[in-house]
Amino acid sequence: MSFSNILKNEAARVHLDSTKLMLSELAGFVRSCGEIKITKEEVSLEFITENPSIARRIFTLIKSYTSEIEAFRKSNQLNKNNYYLIEMKGKYAVDDLLFDTDFIKNGDYHNKNYPVGKEVVNTEEELRAYLRGCFLGGGSITNPEKYYHLEFVTKSKDFAEDIRNKLLTKDILGKVSKRKSSYIVYIKEGEQISNFMALIGANQGLLNFENIRIVKELRNNVNRVVNCETANINKTISASMKQIEDIQFLIETENFELLPGDVREVGMIRLENEDSSLSDIVEISGNKYSKSGINYRLKKISKMAEKIRGANNERNES
């Protein structure tokens, strides 16, 4: 089972201890996965979800409006996944629910009110319930082992903006983008996703998410240290190879003996210890020279080698 479904299963079991909270969560479901169906014979309201726990949740929330509810499990031939359809029948019951959730006023089914009003979402607990309904009905979260991404898929730009604005009241920064015919509200920052999980009451999912974040952060820190050490080793090796090349050049051109005795001593230590760092050379010299002293003398060797190479090049060109 995916991380997203595990999280939704937990959120779909959060206890609602008042009819006001039930209505707030239902307002989220109506907007995110509800569909008004109008025929000559009747008006009905359908909810579609792939998660059986969410289907049971919706069925429980709407049964107080009517007993004319049918639930179906169907197969999607495109992705071979089952989905659940909950159909609420009866025009008067449907109208009552749509009015109570501040979605449709005066029976005008074509004029949908996606931004939910304060009569439905006013308190912090009602906000939690509403956003939980929005997420359960149209949201998903990527496996945090891969990357951090939580999103709401909405049918309307107004709805997407409303979700973003309500998240912002809890200092959760969501961004809105268009994807084909849908508007997406997404969150990509790990801490912000954690805050949202806490907001909707998915506490076990939050703990699992945080454990994954901790392991990933430790792994990333280790990788950064290893990469840094590798870069330092490569830098040391490159510098060492250049220094040895300069020393060998001076020896071959019989210029090495022109250097001061202390510089020649450091040069020979370097030549005999190709893989050693400057700190290692300090120890090999018996701490006779400091690290900066070693570096200074090796630079003198390199400068002399470059000077002689330059002079040789000028003679060859002339």
What percent of the chain clears pLDDT 90, i.e. is strictly above it?
Answer: 55
Same domain, 107 and 164: yes
pLDDT at 30 over 70: yes
302 and 188 co-located in one domain? no
Residue 217 included in any domain: no
The count of structural domains within the chain is 2
pLDDT (0 to 100) of residue 186: 97
Q: pLDDT by residue (tens digit) across 167-207?
A: 999 999 999 999 999 999 999 999 999 999 999 999 999 99
Reference 150, options 182, 175, 125, 114; nearest CA is: 175
Q: Is residue 223 assigned to a domain?
A: no
Backbone angles phi, psi at 81, to 5 degrees: -100, 145
**Are both 150 and 12 inside the same structural domain?**
yes
What is the average per-residue pLDDT within 33-48?
Answer: 90
Q: Which of 182, 201, 220 is the last residue of a domain?
A: 201
Predicted pLDDT at 79: 58
Beta pairing class for 150-154 and 175-179: unpaired
Strand partners, 152: 139, 185
Spell out the residues 6+ positions from residue 202 whose beta carbon is closer than 8 angstroms to its own. 7, 10, 11, 14
Give yes or no for residue 78 having a pLDDT over 80.
no
Last residue of a domain, one of 183, 201, 219: 201
Q: What is the pTM of this model?
A: 0.71
Do residue 165 and residue 279 come from a single domain?
no
Residue 36: pLDDT over 80 = yes
Q: Domain check: are 128 and 265 in the same one?
A: no
Residue 24, token pair as written in the block: 């707030």
183/96 same-domain check: yes
CA distances from 29 to 76, 100, 107, 134 (A): 21, 13, 19, 6
97 and 141 belong to one structural domain: yes
End-to-end CA, the chain: 78
* Shared-domain flag, residues 32 and 179: yes
Sign for the pseudo-dihedral over CA of 84, 178, 105, 28: positive
Question: Bigger pLDDT: 106 or 86?
Answer: 86
Q: What is the pLDDT of residue 171?
A: 95
CATH number of the CATH domain containing 159 = 3.10.28.10
pLDDT band for position 318 (cuts 50, 70, 90): low
Cα dihedral 203, 208, 214, 217 in deg (nearest 10): -120
| Other Cβ atoms closer than 10 A to 161 | 17
Position 230 scores a pLDDT of: 76
Assign 315 a pLDDT band (cuts: 50, 70, 90).
low
- 98 inside domain: yes
Q: What is the pLDDT of residue 1?
A: 82
pLDDT at 76: 67
Assigned domain for 211 exists: no
Instruction: Answer whether residue 63 is part of any domain.
Output: yes
Is 14 inside a domain boundary?
yes
Range of the domain at 307: 232-317
pLDDT at 307: 87
Residue 35 predicted with pLDDT over 70: yes
The pLDDT score that the predictor gives to residue 234 is: 75
- pLDDT per residue as tens digits for the range 240-262: 888 888 889 889 888 888 888 99
Q: How far apart are CA 298 and CA 209, in angstroms?
A: 52
Q: Give yes or no: residues 11 and 156 share one domain.
A: yes
The model's confidence at residue 316, banded by pLDDT at 50, 70 and 90, is low
**Would 219 be classed as within a structural domain?**
no
* Least confident interval from 67-81, 174-188, 273-287: 67-81
From 36-40, 133-137, 234-238, the region with the lowest mean pLDDT: 234-238
Residues 25, 149, single domain; the answer is yes
Choose one of 201, 218, 240: the last residue of a domain: 201
Residue 314 confidence (pLDDT) = 62
Question: What's residue 227's pLDDT?
Answer: 79
Mean pLDDT of the chain: 89
CA separation for the pair 133, 32 (Å, rounded):
8
pLDDT of residue 149: 95
Q: Residues 45, 36: contact at Cβ < 8 Å?
A: yes
The most confident of the ranges 70-84, 193-207, 286-300 is 193-207
Q: How far apart are CA 296 and CA 24, in angstroms?
A: 74
145 and 275 within one domain: no
C-alpha closest to that of 149 among 1, 2, 24, 13:
2
Tell me if 298 is assigned to some domain: yes
Asked if 43 and 169 sit in the same domain, the reply is yes
